[in-house]
């Protein structure tokens, strides 16, 4: 986030909307593709860790901005965005090469409540986070701050529940 205001770019907003539509559709389509003979069963603890690190970075970014450390905030958010992309790649690679794991615990209702909310909010967080970032990039900090009040808790929830879902399902993975 620099101190100069950049011009409003409607083309970037259209790109964000397109990405926000294409990513969930692509993920859904890719889930229907199974690649045999490739073993990515090692990925779930990695992408759960990526989610955990993202959650920590989001809290750190909040700390930085609350303490006036704008550049540290910006860099931390950029790393969190990069980790979110890495998470998505690992997640899709795992699900394209592995069968779904059914939850076998007694807290099935809790597990599926968390999982379903995680999935829906992970779709919703894409445009919210990207538009929030765009407002900062354009130097519109008032709008950025307003959007961040929604983006931050949703993104944090998605990151934390990603770890929770992994911890709940991991005993049922076939090894």
CA–CA gap between residue 29 and residue 24 (Å, rounded): 9
Fold classified for 10-25+40-172: 1.20.120
Confidence band of 7 (pLDDT split at 50, 70, 90): low
pLDDT value of position 43:
96
| pLDDT at residue 160 is higher than 70 | yes
| pLDDT at residue 120 is higher than 90 | yes
Boundaries of every domain in the chain: 10-25+40-172
| pLDDT at residue 1 is higher than 50 | no
pLDDT value of position 6:
60
pTM of the model: 0.90
Q: If you average pLDDT over every residue of the chain, what do you get?
A: 93
Confidence band of 143 (pLDDT split at 50, 70, 90): very high
In Å, what is the CA distance from 51 to each residue of 2, 40, 61, 145? Answer: 27, 18, 15, 23
| pLDDT at residue 73 is higher than 70 | yes
Q: What is the pLDDT of residues 18-53, one digit of tens each?
A: 999 999 999 999 888 999 999 999 999 999 999 999
pLDDT value of position 168:
97
Using a pLDDT cut of 90, give the percent of the chain over it: 86
| pLDDT at residue 140 is higher than 50 | yes
Closest CA to 155 of 64, 16, 62, 46: 62
Candidate from 5-9, 88-92, 110-114 with smallest mean pLDDT: 5-9
CA–CA gap between residue 113 and residue 57 (Å, rounded): 25
pLDDT value of position 79:
98
């Amino acid at each position: 986030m620099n101190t100069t205001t950049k011009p409003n770019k409607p083309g970037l907003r259209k790109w964000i909307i397109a990405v926000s539509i294409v990513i969930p559709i692509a993920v859904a389509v890719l889930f229907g593709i199974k690649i045999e003979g490739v073993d990515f069963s090692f990925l779930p603890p990695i992408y759960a860790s990526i989610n955990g690190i993202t959650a920590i970075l989001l809290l750190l970014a909040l700390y930085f901005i609350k303490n006036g450390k704008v550049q540290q905030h910006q860099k931390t958010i950029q790393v969190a965005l990069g980790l979110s992309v890495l998470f998505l790649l690992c997640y899709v690679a795992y699900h394209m090469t592995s069968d779904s794991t059914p939850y076998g615990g007694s807290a099935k209702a809790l597990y599926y409540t968390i999982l379903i909310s995680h999935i829906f909010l992970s779709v919703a967080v894409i445009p919210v986070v990207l538009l929030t970032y765009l407002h900062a990039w354009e130097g519109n900090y008032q709008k950025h701050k307003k959007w961040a009040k929604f983006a931050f808790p949703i993104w944090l929830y998605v990151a934390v529940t990603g770890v929770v879902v992994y911890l709940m399902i991991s005993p049922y993975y076939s090894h």
